[in-house]
Chains A and B, each alone.
Chain A
Amino acid sequence: MSKLTLKVNGKISTVDVDPGTPLLYILRNELGLQGPRFGCGLGQCGACKVLINGAAVASCITPVSTVTSEVTTLEGLASNGKLHPLQQAWIDEQVPQCGYCQNGQIITAKAMLDKNPQPTDAQIREAMNGTLCRCMSYYRIHMAIKRAVRQVPA
């Protein structure tokens, strides 16, 4: 066990854990941030994604000791009590069914739009392709991303 300091959603916390522990379990079980969820533990499905340095990162395969930059989770996207435009678009388009994957979908979409605010259809498909949905809400996700793109000026 060792003491590690993490900055998550603007807040600094110190945890006493095995440094090899995947970030996912620290977020969920130590810091009470349960937006990221366990899906595969292999970095294949995206349910556990968080934002680190602007990239959507699979927290299930990221050892906590390797995290040196601020982490943003689904809970950290809203600001001043207002949902992020992607989250609002997700509600407007009624995207989720079960919703278990939607943390990863929103986080992946945010990382994409932060780099490329006006993605083409093909770019959306490519950037989102590693984030799986077993309820098959993909078509709605594409609509929600396009809605968010329309609402946020480039």
Chain B
Amino acid sequence: MSNSNGIPAQIEESLRTHRRGFLKSAGLLAVSFAAESRAQPQTQAPGPYPNPDFRQLDSWIVIHQNNTATFYVGKTDPGQGTGTGFRQLMSDELDIAFDKTTCIMGSTDITVDQVGSGGSTAMERDSWPMRRVAAEARRTLLAMASQRLAVPVEQLTVSDAVISAKADPSKQITYGELIGGRKFNVTLTGNNINAVTGQAKTKLRPEFKYTGQPLQRDDIPAKVDGSLKWAVDVKLPRMVHARNIKPPYACAKLTAVDESSVNTLPGFIKVVRKGNYLAVVCEREEQAIRAARQLKATWQKPATAPFPSSEDLFNYMRTAPPASRARPAGAGDAELRNPVAAPTVVGNPDAAFAHAASTIEAEYEIPFQGHTALGGAHAIADPSDGQMTVYSNDMKSYGMRRCVAAFLNMPQDRVRVVWMQGPQGFGRTAAEDAGCEAAWIAKELGRPVRIQWMRDEETAWDTKSPAFLVKMRGALDPQGRLTAYDYNARSCDYNHLGYNEPDTVLIAQLMGARRENPAPGSASMPSDMYAIPNRRMAGVVVGLPAIWETPLRTGNLRDPNGPQATFAAESFIDEAAAAAKTDALAFRLKLIEAATDDDNGFRRARSLAVLKAAAAKFGWVARPSPNPTRSNGDILTGRGIAYSFRGLTIAAQIAEVEVNRRTGHVWAKRIVCAHDSGLVVNPESLHHAVECGTLHGLSRALFEEVRFNTEKVTSVDWVTHPTLRHADTPEQIDIVLVNGDPNPDRPDLPPYGAGEASLKPMLAAIGNAIFDATGVRIRRVPFRAERVLAALKAAGV
């Protein structure tokens, strides 16, 4: 499937021949020109990579003469199965056999801009325009067939891309015969890509043939037999290799570079430097690695410490002046910069606390956690012919194209990003930084450049999920009901990086770019349906002393605030249940049932359904925590539950843990995750995505923490930054796909997102299980053995 340059043949063919010619002949060349005229000298001819026009049906679907179809969508699927899901939905709408279709994703010059991936939007939002366009293609083909066969449309039927007369099946014609290799020339309507539509209606559930089926993912065979060509595999003629030399201290200033320390090494080409950005380029990969290690550079430490040590982080966060506050609905960035926190208040919390039978208070700490992808960030950039092509696994390839164009001051229609598979990415990863680095060096050298971050760069310098400090207070009445609740979050998230911003990518920062108004960041509220009559919820964002050129830069990581806020909120609900000597599940159900109103996604009804489904699968026996039967041996066992929603997707998780009181080691022996994300497009890949998200949550609960001293990040590899391993995997994992809709059979049930929700409650579920097992509440993740052992010893367990 690939040729010698490592680019998959399918993409190569589309890029170089058929598709581009096809789009050009569809008259799409002028589309993006007007918008870019500011950046582009008037005399310059339009570039070769205009935006595919999302209002042209031909941009989305090509029917071939052999009666197969290729779908072109503006999404990226790094392995959660969305690509296969798009094919299922579009095959259904188009009425073509699934195995006669292929799907090309995320290459900016041949697929429409649907942003790429992020926010679990693939099915919930972005599959809808795909479906409407495929339905419109079917409608158009039926109209064409009606003319060719001289049969009214109402008297035609479609099966597997063959249209025939209902009355006379011998009268038939295939899609390929009708339009194979030619253009639809159908213009769609809609103000934006999410609204794009034709005239056709999309199908309802009973009409689906492939949607809802557990079809095998189409990307897996090539990932298993070694034939897949990844972004890391791209080889181009005259390509050279670059490696970064990162500042050894945060905010260090590069004062001198001794090029003679490397310029006699074999394969040496060049040291590239601008401001504090420093890289070395060699002919071969191992030469670049060696030269980067050997290059003598002088760095000056900053006058003041850029951040406290990780041991002092929460003390710092507790007293740091707020830089901005959490985002209330509809608030603009300017409003958020008012650091005076304005809490969201329901009822009268002060009065409820004044009349409480008892109150409980707790403070929770969640450190910086990282993406730490298994492979270092990378990109290959080709500056040939005055254009720029970047091969990247960045999940937002369209953003990268805009970012690279702005960073290099090139018109966008001369820049394209070819999306290819890469190591796991769940948000704003260093893939974006590497894309700009490769492109900048390639432009400097006039040669194709491949760059990859080494392990220490990736672990230390990739963007982090913000640290959270959450103070909570609750009031219980004499019946043990939670009558008031105070949630006060501080997140360390000031100057949160957006996606592909030309003034915040790391290379731009190192070259001196500074944004006048850093992004305010966020300190989110918990996501639950508890009907607590009196609530006060507030969040503020604090910043570290240094917010530029620092490895402690925050960015989105898989539900950016969700695991942190939910760890605090769902641990606290458990503490309240224990204080009320009530079963943790019953306590939650009662809080949700305390109101009867519901929202348009039926989140109240579905929260109840999901919690009950998890409990039923687990075999939950009602009793208060901690576990009244405690072994005298080393191993203490307990179970913990937690629940949350992400958007309209609900997840409830129950973990059974074994805590070794002699070593502090925690093993989640069994996990149940019940998950309701609406319409299931592919139960197999959904099950898998939920399972892996659950274990990612387990890894963050047990192991993941970015550590640092006052000069630099000291988590630099898999020893200093441990992750979940084979031996830590539960013995049994049960995923329950729930349909908790009040009308579960409704034909218009929509799909909701599924990439993140199963991560969210896991941290609290494990903490609650440790409490159940030991009677010791640990309010700080991760629950590494040394922390657990210290807590057990302090409590005399």
Contacts and interface: CB of A to CB of B under 8 A. Distances in A.
Interface of A: 1, 17-18, 21-22, 25, 28-29, 32-35, 37-42, 44-45, 47, 73-75, 77-78, 83, 87, 90-91, 94-103, 106, 121, 124-126, 128-142
Contacts of A94: 216-217, 220, 684-685, 688
Interface residues on B, range: 35 or more
A133 B374 contact: yes
A38 to B, nearest CB: 6
Interface string B532-566: 00000000000000000000000000000000000
B659 interface: no
A42 B423 contact: no
27 contacts: A34-B226, A35-B226, A39-B455, A41-B455, A44-B718, A44-B719, A73-B226, A75-B225, A78-B225, A91-B216, A95-B220, A97-B80, A97-B688, A99-B79, A99-B219, A124-B726, A128-B726, A129-B727, A130-B725, A131-B726, A132-B374, A134-B373, A135-B692, A136-B695, A138-B725, A138-B726, A141-B726
B213 interface: no
B626 interface: no
Given A38-B452, A139-B730, 11 more contacts: A25-B286, A35-B226, A96-B224, A97-B78, A97-B688, A99-B220, A126-B727, A130-B725, A132-B374, A134-B374, A135-B79
Given A25-B284, A74-B226, A134 B726 contact: no
Contacts of B224: 83, 87, 90-91, 95-96, 99, 102, 106
Nearest to A108: B726
Given A132-B718, A137-B692, A138-B695, A96 B223 contact: yes
A37 B724 contact: no
A139 B693 CA distance: 12
Contacts of B688: 94, 97, 137, 140
Contacts of B219: 96, 99
Given A87-B224, A135-B692, A142-B729, A100 B375 contact: yes
A107 to B, nearest CB: 10
Contacts of B91: none
B372 interface: yes
Please list the 7 inter-chain residue pairs (A to B) with the smallest Cβ-Cβ separation, ordered nearest first. A99-B223, A136-B695, A35-B226, A97-B79, A74-B226, A100-B423, A98-B79
A145 to B, nearest CB: 10
A65 to B, nearest CB: 13
A65 B398 CA distance: 43
B266 interface: yes
Contact of B729 (A17, A38, A138): A138
Nearest to A134: B374
Interface string B410-434: 0000000000011111000000000
Most buried by A among B224, B225, B455, B729: B224
Interface in B168-224: 216-217, 219-221, 223-224
Nearest to B691: A139
B699 interface: yes
Contacts of A137: 688, 692
B232 interface: yes
Contacts of A34: 6, 226, 229-230, 232-233
B26 interface: no
B423 A98 contact: yes
Contacts of B80: 97
B717 interface: yes
B233 to A, nearest CB: 5
Contacts of B691: 136, 139-140
A124 B69 CA distance: 43
Most buried by B among A28, A40, A125: A40
Given A38-B376, A99-B223, A100-B374, A134 B423 contact: yes
B696 interface: yes
B509 interface: no
B228 interface: yes
A124 B725 CA distance: 12
Contacts of B454: 41
Contacts of A97: 78-80, 424, 688-689, 692
B87 to A, nearest CB: 16
Given A91-B216, A134-B423, A139-B691, A37 B226 contact: no
Most buried by B among A98, A99, A121, A130: A98
B320 interface: no
Contacts of A1: 266
Contacts of A106: 224
B727 A22 contact: no
A77 B227 CA distance: 12
Contacts of B387: none
A100 B422 contact: yes
B421 A98 contact: yes
B717 A42 contact: yes
Contacts of B287: 18
A103 B217 CA distance: 18
Contacts of B599: none
A98 B717 CA distance: 20
Contacts of B455: 39-42, 44
Contacts of A35: 226
A96 B79 contact: yes
Nearest to A136: B695
Contacts of A124: 726
A125 B729 contact: yes
B70 to A, nearest CB: 23
B160 interface: no
B375 A39 contact: yes
A77 B693 CA distance: 30
A106 B375 CA distance: 17
A91 B221 contact: yes
A129 B78 contact: no
Contacts of B421: 98-99
A91 B218 CA distance: 10
B692 A29 contact: no
Contacts of B693: 136
A47 B223 CA distance: 13
Interface string B712-730: 0000011100011111111
Contacts of B423: 98, 100-101, 134
A75 B222 CA distance: 11
